[in-house]
Chains A and B, each alone.
Chain A
């Protein structure tokens, strides 16, 4: 029996593969190879000659012609030479940012002029260094060298300058008491000797190399180039393949070719899985190829598997809900931007802050640096991806049927259809719907945390608390809304109470289970505490009461006023959380 299903599944995969392949004629392949070569050449030139984006942005006027060749070493400057009186006149006309009379710099108070001063400083430093280098006498030109040794030690997990919460002090002490690794092993013995070559190496070193030897002026904190570059290298092909997947699904919808498959004895989940398989395989092969090229461990493929699933699932869902090609394009761009942000931002803090393991790319960075990645880290960063992509596939498969695929239903209508299907198919639907949507809420909240790190802390926490409450209340009440908005069901106070309790309790149970597995490592931060770690009874009561409030308000105000019900529930929810972290926000 299972064999037959697998056979059928593979047949669909084969069709799908052949269909996509047919699109690529010999000429198309040739053309893409040519464009790829051109892209390679362009990126080579960019890496050689640098970005020319700020060329001639600053206008400088000098009286000493000797300064001209010095300033011309930096493309940012547009330099003019004039006599002092003319130069002063021209500068006063306001068309220049900096005036240099002899060796004296005159500037204005404008932002541009002040930036120009900074750029001037950097340019001269660079010019001097180049000249010093030509003496070929390191001891007299670059006399000071730093040998930087990075040592791993236990770090207290805590965002910059956040005050500690008294209630959670204990949990953190536990982590601080954990045994620390022996330093001797961690220090890499680096007895590199500086030479001219070393110096040129610093300047031209690729972002993928860690800097251990530097002169003071080249001594800089780790800049997250590596994660940025890696995110692009890995995410781009995944994104491309996901685009093919969605195009193929959409094409079937538009040309109504999918109808034949729907009447076949195969279930919609089998059809979707069959279609997914070739794209997933191609993605994994591509990822494996790149991993091999970068010399990484094969485990990297396992880290990127959930990322690929995530892109493919959203591409699939986008292709199901969109009404036209245009809509599909924008839904997909929107989802990809959101996803890339989620993957990209935390990864920038790789080597800076432990929050970065939210993003699987951080784990890839670690693996490429031959650092160990623990199973709990893997779970922490990939669980949201596995859960959300499964959920997205599930909801997509629910509406993989005639009436949703081949009609012009609105996106909202299709989303409601998926929810309705879920409610119809699952026992105790409201309870489990809260649980099922939880990873989605969790992912959005984690994304919010990352964004909030960039605004002033107090405001960040405040905004986060309110938005987090809103997201959770949407997740808990959307099922109730779906049930109540269906005219056939009779809504009573009792059923409203029951729905609120079920939904709230479901969310609570899901949250606690999920937190046990994945959030343990950010328990110390204030953001973690808002996400629900703490006493158990109060959160349960909170989730139930806020959702019941929403449910009752829908009962009396009707589902048309869903927004009002949501606001009510969110206010209750947010005020509880604000009370919890009052020590941080108000004092």
Chain B
């Protein structure tokens, strides 16, 4: 036991001395900021109400024809220009005077034919996005209007729920923070530790220092346990740091202690797996390759079912789940036992 702790301490010192841990934290910070940029940036980009924070820029849209849709578009926030024919509208479109053209057909809601609307948008242009976003609302309103009239003919009754005050609602931001960002932050240290344990072992094998270690009083299983202990211990430490950081940014994270426990359990599984690969294959090249493949597999599998570690962290952090999650934890913890038994049976010849 003391030997295990000696080895763990030695590994921890080397992590701190080489500043690998600091680099690891910077890497995670980069990954986190990239992914939040990705989704929050995009969410605000595609959310018209977020765009209104910029100058009140309205889309200029040309309209041809005077069907029912015209009223809906006029009532919306777009600037409407009227044209007699497509050619003149497209010429203004081409000169950047308008950024979209809507051709409104004669067919109206009381008819029986499909109402087909042609929309011309600039290709590969941010203004096409603007126009799309601003036209969506009137078009959807119009669709509902026509559907209300027509679906009665076939006896369709939509599900209707009522709400008193309608707040400005969006679920994108919330679902990103709890569904993607927090699980990612909690589990990146786990994945990093899996790679770390492989580096710890393969380096000893390739530098042939493992032989020296083996003649020391520490037994092989003590060496293995010591290294794994370090790799596992740094996981909840880092995860705690991230959850703290997220909380400072005004995101309430529930059940932090339970989440850290889960991160540690998964860390044990991943680190033991990494150790098995490293002890079996001994070479960094091959071990890291196999580990990366398994990592991709685990990552995909994490999205496959409810109660996956990702999903558990999502629900725990959002407060949709409490101590009752501990039951699933037991299953994961049990999973690590056969892995550990297998690791102990791997020979180091």
Chain A interfacial positions (CB closer than 8 Å to B): 20, 23-24, 28, 31-32, 35-36, 38-39, 42-43, 45-46, 49, 51-59, 70, 75, 78, 100, 103-107, 109, 111-112, 114-122, 124, 127-128, 131-132, 135, 137-156, 160-161, 176, 180, 183, 186-187, 194, 215-217, 219-224, 240, 243-244, 247-248, 250-251, 254-255, 323-331, 333-334, 337-338, 341, 344-345, 348-354, 451, 453-454, 457
Contacts of A43 in B (CB 8 A): 300
* B320 pairs with A59, CB closer than 8 A: yes
* A52 pairs with B303, CB closer than 8 A: yes
**Which of A54, A114, A120 has a CB less than 8 Å from the CB of B314?**
A54
Binds A, one of B240-248, B291-299, B338-346: B291-299
- In the complex, 9 of the A-B residue pairs with CB atoms within 8 angstroms, ordered by the A residue number, are A39-B300, A58-B320, A104-B162, A114-B170, A137-B154, A223-B46, A324-B20, A325-B284, A330-B24
* A326 pairs with B18, CB closer than 8 A: yes
Q: CA–CA, A240 to B200, complex, Å? A: 20
* B156 pairs with A32, CB closer than 8 A: no
- Which chain B residues in 122-171 approach chain A with CB under 8 Å? 122-129, 132-133, 135-136, 139-140, 142-143, 146-147, 150-151, 153-154, 156, 158-164, 167, 169-171
* A138 pairs with B46, CB closer than 8 A: no
Contacts of A52 in B (CB 8 A): 303-306, 308, 311
Contacts of B90 in A (CB 8 A): 151, 183
* A49 pairs with B179, CB closer than 8 A: no
If A57-B315, A146-B117, A161-B54 are given as contacts, then 14 extra A-B residue pairs at C-beta distance below 8 Å, sorted by A number, are A32-B289, A32-B293, A104-B163, A115-B175, A144-B114, A144-B117, A151-B90, A221-B128, A251-B283, A254-B207, A325-B200, A325-B202, A328-B199, A352-B124
Contacts of A338 in B (CB 8 A): 30
**Which of B162, B175, B304 has a CB less than 8 Å from the CB of A42?**
B304
Q: CA–CA, A223 to B41, complex, Å? A: 12
Contacts of A135 in B (CB 8 A): 154, 156
Nearest opposing residue in chain B for A457, CB measure: B54
A180 CB, nearest partner CB in chain B, Å: 6
Contact A183 B159, CB 8 Å, known A147-B119, A326-B199? no
Q: Is the interface of B mostly helix, strand, loop or mixed?
A: helix
Contacts of B202 in A (CB 8 A): 325
Contacts of A330 in B (CB 8 A): 20, 23-24, 27
* B41 pairs with A160, CB closer than 8 A: no
Whether, in the assembled complex, B329 has its beta carbon less than 8 Å from a beta carbon of chain A, the answer is no
Contacts of B308 in A (CB 8 A): 52-53
Q: CA–CA, A120 to B160, complex, Å? A: 11
Whether, in the assembled complex, B206 has its beta carbon less than 8 Å from a beta carbon of chain A, the answer is yes
Whether, in the assembled complex, B332 has its beta carbon less than 8 Å from a beta carbon of chain A, the answer is no
A248 CB, nearest partner CB in chain B, Å: 7
Contacts of A349 in B (CB 8 A): 126
Contact A57 B124, CB 8 Å, known A147-B116, A149-B118? no
B138 CB, nearest partner CB in chain A, Å: 9
Contacts of B139 in A (CB 8 A): 144, 146, 216, 219
B304 CB, nearest partner CB in chain A, Å: 6
Whether, in the assembled complex, B121 has its beta carbon less than 8 Å from a beta carbon of chain A, the answer is yes
Contacts of A58 in B (CB 8 A): 320
**Which of A32, A42, A103, A334 has a CB less than 8 Å from the CB of B23?**
A334
Contact A251 B26, CB 8 Å, known A183-B90, A220-B132? no
Nearest opposing residue in chain B for A180, CB measure: B94
Sorting the interface of chain B by its residue count into under 10, 10 to 19, 20 to 34 or 35 or more gives 35 or more
Contacts of A124 in B (CB 8 A): 159, 161
B44 CB, nearest partner CB in chain A, Å: 8
Contacts of A116 in B (CB 8 A): 171
Contact A326 B20, CB 8 Å, known A138-B114, A153-B123? yes
* A141 pairs with B156, CB closer than 8 A: yes
Contact A451 B37, CB 8 Å, known A57-B179, A112-B174, A353-B126? yes
Q: CA–CA, A290 to B90, complex, Å? A: 39
Contacts of A251 in B (CB 8 A): 206, 283-285
Contacts of A120 in B (CB 8 A): 161
**Which of B27, B41, B118, B163 has a CB less than 8 Å from the CB of A105?**
B163
Q: CA–CA, A327 to B22, complex, Å? A: 11
* B301 pairs with A57, CB closer than 8 A: no
* A352 pairs with B125, CB closer than 8 A: yes
* B206 pairs with A255, CB closer than 8 A: yes
* A147 pairs with B183, CB closer than 8 A: no
* A141 pairs with B300, CB closer than 8 A: no
Whether, in the assembled complex, B83 has its beta carbon less than 8 Å from a beta carbon of chain A, the answer is no
Q: CA–CA, A147 to B161, complex, Å? A: 32
Contacts of A104 in B (CB 8 A): 161-164
Whether, in the assembled complex, B220 has its beta carbon less than 8 Å from a beta carbon of chain A, the answer is no
* B319 pairs with A112, CB closer than 8 A: yes
**Which of B30, B120, B122, B293 has a CB less than 8 Å from the CB of A39?**
B293
* A20 pairs with B156, CB closer than 8 A: no
Per-residue contact bits, chain B 66-109, to A (CB 8 Å; 1 contact, 0 not) = 00000000000000000000000010011010000000000001
Contacts of B206 in A (CB 8 A): 251, 254-255, 325
Whether, in the assembled complex, B335 has its beta carbon less than 8 Å from a beta carbon of chain A, the answer is no
Contacts of A42 in B (CB 8 A): 297, 300-301, 304
* A326 pairs with B200, CB closer than 8 A: yes
* A221 pairs with B132, CB closer than 8 A: yes
Q: CA–CA, A58 to B175, complex, Å? A: 10
Contacts of A112 in B (CB 8 A): 174, 318-319
* A144 pairs with B146, CB closer than 8 A: yes
Per-residue contact bits, chain B 322-349, to A (CB 8 Å; 1 contact, 0 not) = 0000000000000000000000000000
* A217 pairs with B161, CB closer than 8 A: no
* A103 pairs with B161, CB closer than 8 A: yes
* B37 pairs with A345, CB closer than 8 A: yes
- Which chain B residues in 31-64 approach chain A with CB under 8 Å? 31, 34, 37-38, 40-42, 46, 54-55, 57
Nearest opposing residue in chain A for B167, CB measure: A114
* B123 pairs with A151, CB closer than 8 A: yes
* B122 pairs with A155, CB closer than 8 A: yes
Q: Closest 10 A-B residue pairs measured CB to CB?
A: A115-B174, A247-B285, A55-B306, A216-B139, A325-B199, A42-B300, A150-B123, A118-B171, A115-B171, A221-B129
* B195 pairs with A341, CB closer than 8 A: no
B70 CB, nearest partner CB in chain A, Å: 14
Q: CA–CA, A103 to B301, complex, Å? A: 38
* B163 pairs with A107, CB closer than 8 A: yes
Q: CA–CA, A57 to B294, complex, Å? A: 28
**Which of A128, A150, A354 has a CB less than 8 Å from the CB of B121?**
A150
Whether, in the assembled complex, B214 has its beta carbon less than 8 Å from a beta carbon of chain A, the answer is no
B181 CB, nearest partner CB in chain A, Å: 11
Q: CA–CA, A348 to B42, complex, Å? A: 9
Whether, in the assembled complex, B211 has its beta carbon less than 8 Å from a beta carbon of chain A, the answer is no
A18 CB, nearest partner CB in chain B, Å: 14
* A143 pairs with B143, CB closer than 8 A: yes
B146 CB, nearest partner CB in chain A, Å: 5
Whether, in the assembled complex, B222 has its beta carbon less than 8 Å from a beta carbon of chain A, the answer is no
Contacts of B200 in A (CB 8 A): 325-326
